[in-house]
Chain A
């Protein structure tokens, strides 16, 4: 699977999508789990009888309800046969269920289980979605019904890497019509957005006044003032880099990877994001590793401005901190939007229950709770949120983001070009 990356990078993206769909019908899963024949409970070792090439989920387009169902029936030991309460296995990133401050996981589980006769099981593999891409690529059953926390980029990566569909079509999800325009990021209608965030600048107003434009960051008075994150390893850093590309254009970098060239909105065709970053670097910007690295350094006063989220004051108010030290700045009145979605796995055991959960996630009250507990913004325009939340969680006048088609074949090239310029040793 991974071997496909370089070979297909040359081809036109739309052709590649067509390819993927054509291949899906011809290609058979290398192997599939056709029921557990036996489990060697010996010390964490397990041996499972693999299928003889049956239809244990080789095709995702039909929602795979049938194949999944038969799977569940054949192994009665640990799964839900017959009348027992079904289990919905929801995969997500760890801070969604286990953050030191607040996280929506526990509330969602309790509320969903109180309404539906089902048990919700959270799973948080360390490498997040890549874990499921690996499973699918290795021909191992996915073992989860739903993924919560998909980004546009995740979908691009999934579709690049796998020939078979990892996710099923959205299907019938109540409340989907309430999702705000501009947040529906999946052109193939699999992912359902459930919240969004904005990457912006956070600055200490007692030390500096952050500039209002990208160009302002290049001024002498802001020399050494900004801390950002490595776009190759941190999603905040990546969003900020993408925002600069949106602003200044990519100078044709993406066309090397078969992506579309981005012109930018700065009216200067000769000045692209690499030029801007060269100027930023000359003005002593710090690009550290993770968001934690950057925020720790910023909190200790190493620099007065940091790339972070526009919800920073929610946390600050919660911790009783001086809000003057936690000011938000939207450069050019914009911020890079990072909508998060959820989608049903193609070989889910409980696809209908998963869709019920997605409908649940979009209910007005639940949307309000997710936003507050995940410290983000609702995806629907019908969410119920306390008024003071909007005072602390700031939204930009103009959210910007790249679409699936714009990111496909481009994002790796953009990051690599940036790395090569920034870290030239």
Chain B
């Protein structure tokens, strides 16, 4: 396991080790191993019901694990709440709530502010900083209900960043967004990874993930494959992960993405 120069002091990202999770008595995840180092943007791909959201929720400490461990910067999820910035799917958020952009971002710090306390200067500073990072400072006093889809997604990212986390979990940030918004967000995520965040992102946009992620992880109850676009040039792992036929157009996207990069090393298939 390498600790690259990118990682900040004491920050070594997300470690999922031999994780198995049951929901309602049925196994949803089996023996999942996944590392996301500081500075990495990892795409989590898989068909519906593959357990992507369950994996995110396990990292957040929201579902009981059967076996295995999850560590964020070496800390258990329950103790690592302020190390993880969570960006849920946009439909989880009540956009009709009468609240402005900056107030919504400030709610990210609710638990850090603590019970029966009011936000202090540091909380407002963190909010300002997060808004600057996602380039939403100009719209700070706008009610959230009046934002476009891309702007809403950026508000959710800013809310996660308000905790100054070391790791970011993004749940389908691109779903339902137009291309310009997707490009803008991709740039943002790449920049955040470059700043030393460990980022794990679920997505259905395979082409985009292969293009912009440093690695992709194919999940279907267990990790089918994990590597860069070149390492995953073998279409067989994609057929297995997504349970698709050899003539599925998806596989051409995979091949094209691999060609785009340098000659392959072996895929880290499991």
> Are A and B bound to each other?
no
